[in-house]
Amino acid sequence: TEQLESGSETNIYVAFSTPFTFFGRKYSYTYVNYNGLLTFNQFSPDASLYPFPTYGTEDFIAPLWTDLDDFGLGRYSYQEYTSGSVLTRATQDINQYFPHKGFSASWVFVATWDYVESSDMNVLNLHSAPAITFQVVLISGGDFSFILMNYGDCAVIQYQVEAGYDTINSTDYYVIHYDASYGNSIPNLKNTSNVNVPGRWAFLVNNGTENVIGVKLKIRSLLDLTQRGNVEDVLQQIKQELVNYGVLRVFEIKLRNFKKTQP
């Protein structure tokens, strides 16, 4: 299903054949918005960004949120898959990025945005002008839900830009890129990644707890955690150990507190 966009700030309502779980909430439909945004409770024609974290009442998936209809002529579309080679490819990709889960995709939803800096349909079809192209993929199977964000050409655009996702009350959020200024170019997203695949970002989004990891650690002396140099060294060792067990490198690890207990 495809929607042509030429300044009217449109959206497409899509009913899912299979509910998609996004950080603990099951959604049976989405709004594919012209401005590079997926929303669930209502369509969002707004091109004025809400910087993540918003601490608001909406879930957002924003592969590239900006004022695309003012950039030029474009189209955005979606496709849903419940069988076939796309599910096979999704299964392979997710197991590559998130090993040891034994994942098997049963449902895939793909939304794609394709815009050019022109009002000429021939230019759009031939991509013979600066273009902005990107995609978001929702994938589910068993108890797991994932999103992929794929980036092609991203030309200079004279508007605010945000990429990432946010949740109700911002209990979970991620910012790939945010720029509240006007007149700046989008970074070279087609060469960035958190899974070592240029132009691709991948996230596990089931329920929010899968991204929380606890580590219990015994130390010989409180000095180990009161001297900053020692703290940083210990945290880096823990991080490297987690990476060795398959955790993606794109995370922060901080010491929240410590207390002395009786032996």
Residues contacting 205, CB < 8 A, separation 6+: 21, 22, 23, 145, 146, 147, 165, 172
Per-residue pLDDT at 214 exceeds 70: no
What average pLDDT does this structure show over 70-93? 96
Per-residue pLDDT at 212 exceeds 60: no
- Note whether 133 and 11 are within 8 A (CB): no
- Mean residue pLDDT of the chain comes to 87
What average pLDDT does this structure show over 20-29? 96
Residue 38 has what pLDDT?
97
Per-residue pLDDT at 111 exceeds 70: yes
Residue 7 has what pLDDT?
79
pLDDT in tens, 117-174: 999 999 999 999 999 999 999 999 999 999 999 999 999 888 889 999 999 999 999 9
pTM of the predicted protein model: 0.80
Residue 114 has what pLDDT?
96
Where residue 253 falls among pLDDT bands split at 50, 70, 90? confident
Residue 208 has what pLDDT?
61
Where residue 79 falls among pLDDT bands split at 50, 70, 90? very high
Where residue 249 falls among pLDDT bands split at 50, 70, 90? low
What are the CA-CA distances from residue 194 to residues 68, 110, 175, 197, 200 (Å)? 25, 20, 12, 8, 7
